[in-house]
A and B are shown apart, each in its own frame.
Chain A
Amino acid sequence: MATALTFDPVTLPPAAEALRSEVRQFVAETLGNEHRRNSDFGASHDPEFSRALGQRGWIGMTWPTKYGGGGRSFFERYVMTEELLAAGAPVGAHWIADRQSGPLLLRYGTEAQREFFLPKIIAGECFFSIGMSEPDSGSDLASVRTTATPVEGGWLVNGTKLWSSGAHRNHYMITLVRTPTESESRHAGLSQLIVDLRNSSGLTVRPITNLAGDAEFNEVVFEDCFVPADRLVGEPGNGWEQVTSELGYERSGPERFLSAFRVFVELLREVGPKPTDHQAAVLGRMAAHMMTLRNMSISVAGMLESNRNPVVEAALVKELGNNFEREVPEIARLVAPGGGSALFRQTLEDTILHAPSFTIRGGTREILRGMIARGLGLR
């Protein structure tokens, strides 16, 4: 148990700190100083911005240079992402491809897939969605029912995927499907296919409007949709191991505690230079939480850098980070003096409307706590 609690100290290397000022300058020049929403909400899809990042070499930063990647450390990627998120930069278009689809292909994809997809992702011109959940499969991912039946030259896919963010405007979706198997195990017979969202027949993408009014996630319906054989990722039947590894990349990054950061910034502006004791304590508490979370998240980046597999540690960062993010708007509304400026109100309301998703996406609070409990040997 003690191991799950050990978040070794990490000092960011000078190269990462040097990159920080470069990213900060880039953001200031590219986006100016006007008000920005939190990075991960609806307004964050901006292909032009993604392309500009790609030109800088800031997508696929840790990937091998032979595919056009940066060959840089996880610490540099960490700094680059936290700077963009803290600034409210629109990173949504390339986010999934950079964080998890690319790493998945590097680990399990064929050489041809890597050569085809990775350079496009790196250039900020190829965006991915996640095709995991279904109408009857949320937290219980192993219950997915979408099938892929082998046919001449590929697979015929039938079924429905749900909550696929950006599927209405991205290029590809890595889709978890059931393929034929002899085994009775729920985890057997799962496979991942790269589905072309723009050039497939038998595919319908229907945006679903969320409670904030954004049409961000989608229902994706497959009716005899043909996927060529060379779009299978890894081995048929190995899908469970692959999605588990993919989710590992998803859980410990700075996006797990920065979703509400712009509220913190605007709250500080509202409170001004002379806080009451109560306001000072509330702001200081948020800072103490954030600095500790960041410290833990950087420690996990260190574990990734040394090829460890910090499943429980990542779950702890997400659990603590998400709970903190959900608290930020709740705190802000009570300590802001008066009603606040229009800018503050908009940032706050925006965040209140999106907050329910923080503790659901990427694994619900309850599922993560279950993973932590498993790490403690309770189950």
Chain B
Amino acid sequence: MNETTQLMLESAERLLRDACPKAVVDQVEAGERPDALWAELEALGLLNACVPEGQGGVGLPLAEGLTLLRLAGRYAVPVPFAETLLGRALASEAGMPEALEGMMTIAAPAVQGEGYAPVPFAPWARWVLVAQAGPDGAVSFQCLPQEQLTFSEPRKGLAGEPEALMLGGAGQGPAFSSPLAPSLAKLQGLLALSRAVMMAGALESALDLSVAYALERKQFGREIAKFQAVQQQLAVLTGEVAAALRAADAGLEALGSPREATAWAVAKARAGEAAGKGAEIAHQVHGAMGFTHEHQLHHRTRRLWCWRDQHGHEAYWQAALGRALCAAGADALWPELTGSA
């Protein structure tokens, strides 16, 4: 990780600790747009992390900039952080400087099923980056003002954040392509990776909350952390969190390598599995307290349940990996797993 990224992560963490408390997440989930939080994220330049310096950005490579998403997961940041970060990096090819300001979301063809995936934060976005599949798996983009498109009535997903289906309006105006995501598969892989990194961050936070709670909550005259049954569960949770973090980081490290598609499928599948197991244990440790709306654990766990399904659930990416292994055959399994074919 380069020094600029390190500094940016540190200042982002300081900012989010203060600017993204539980109250802000609650407000968003109650339907209020977090303009103050957004302004602070903009002021720090976080959303322009992967925009070239010549266009007023920080100029980080994608693999570095996307590490910010771990913090977005850790603090349950209730804005389209991934979509704006990635979308602006793609849109910087468009020659539309005005698109690099304001909330951006991405309308992408669904990984599973027909048509477009629900568009996160569609009602609040100023810009929608619409991805259109072309011939031979290529993808082109249009960067359109939100009001130019028509959307379904917004609904709240598991994360409690607004989303809507794109009904029409795309296809007008000039399209552009980006070397960052020349193919639909690469775009979908990057979006899946973004969710893996966010899940890893949310899992870290769920573990921290669970450990702190176990050390504070007393039953039978002692902290529940002193019971082996609880210790064993938290150890299992730690394993899942560590695996999700490593898989997500490996996905980032592979960006640009011939192994990237495999690494992203592994990241989404492994982090998605950890999300389900991890959320279950975190809730069990928190008991009834963690089931209340007042406790902040659900800000993490509901996002884990949401993100694991977005841009392809575990079984989708597992099957993609599995089919590739079957095609290569049993004697190629080990070389395939180790990238040494």
Contact = CB atoms under 8 A, between A and B. Distances in A.
Interface stretch (A103-111, A167-175, A180-188, A286-294): A286-294
A6 B249 CA distance: 10
Contacts of A279: 322, 326
A264 interface: yes
A93 to B, nearest CB: 23
B295 interface: no
12 contacts: A5-B245, A265-B334, A280-B319, A292-B243, A292-B246, A292-B266, A319-B239, A369-B231, A369-B236, A372-B234, A372-B235, A376-B211
B215 A283 contact: no
Nearest to B323: A280
Interface stretch (A49-57, A133-141, A269-277): A269-277
A378 B234 contact: yes
A373 B247 contact: no
B93 interface: no
B321 A288 contact: yes
B266 A288 contact: yes
A293 B242 CA distance: 10
* Chain A CB within 10 A, most for which of B204, B262, B319: B319
Contacts of B326: 268, 271-275, 279-280, 283
B323 A292 contact: no
Contact of B315 (A272, A281, A379): A281
B265 A264 contact: no
Given A275-B322, A366-B232, A284 B265 contact: yes
A191 interface: no
Given A1-B207, A279-B326, A296-B243, 7 more contacts: A1-B211, A2-B204, A265-B333, A268-B325, A299-B246, A372-B235, A372-B239
B137 to A, nearest CB: 20
Interface of B: 204, 207-208, 211, 214-215, 225-226, 228, 230-232, 234-236, 238-239, 241-243, 245-247, 249-250, 253, 262, 265-266, 269-270, 273, 314-315, 317-323, 325-327, 329-331, 333-334, 336-338, 340
A378 B322 contact: no
Interface of A is mostly: helix
A292 B215 CA distance: 30
A9 interface: yes
B239 A7 contact: no
Nearest to A369: B235
A341 to B, nearest CB: 11
A86 interface: yes
B322 A273 contact: no
Given A9-B253, A378-B215, A282 B322 contact: yes
Contact of B211 (A82, A277, A377): A377
Nearest to A258: B334
Nearest to B253: A9
Interface of B is mostly: helix
Nearest to A5: B242
A4 interface: yes
Given A288-B265, A288-B266, A369 B232 contact: yes
A17 interface: yes
B246 A265 contact: no
Nearest to B227: A378
A119 to B, nearest CB: 32
A373 B246 CA distance: 20
A377 B215 contact: yes
Interface residues of A, number: 58
Contact of A287 (B207, B325, B327): B325
Nearest to A275: B326
A320 interface: yes
Contacts of A269: 329-330
A2 B200 CA distance: 13
A361 interface: no
Contacts of B333: 264-265, 268
A223 B246 CA distance: 51
Contact of A282 (B211, B253, B318): B318
Nearest to B244: A292
* Chain A CB within 10 A, most for which of B208, B245, B265, B326: B326
A376 B334 contact: no
- A-B CB proximity, top 9 nearest: A284-B322, A284-B321, A280-B322, A284-B318, A369-B235, A373-B231, A269-B330, A283-B322, A372-B235
B230 to A, nearest CB: 8
A80 to B, nearest CB: 13
Contact of A376 (B238, B265, B340): B238
Contacts of A198: none
Contact of A284 (B238, B242, B269): B269
A37 to B, nearest CB: 16
A28 to B, nearest CB: 11
Contacts of B315: 277, 281
A295 interface: yes
B319 to A, nearest CB: 4
Contacts of B211: 1, 376-378
A7 B236 contact: no
Contacts of B226: 378-379
Interface in A331-375: 366, 368-370, 372-373, 375
Contacts of A98: none
B20 to A, nearest CB: 19
Given A266-B330, A284-B265, A320 B322 contact: no
* Chain A CB within 10 A, most for which of B235, B246, B266, B325: B235
Nearest to B274: A292
B314 A285 contact: yes
Given A281-B315, A288-B265, A295-B246, A370 B231 contact: yes
A261 B336 CA distance: 14
Contacts of A21: 340
A289 to B, nearest CB: 7
Interface string A238-275: 00000000000000000000000100111011011111
A287 B321 CA distance: 7
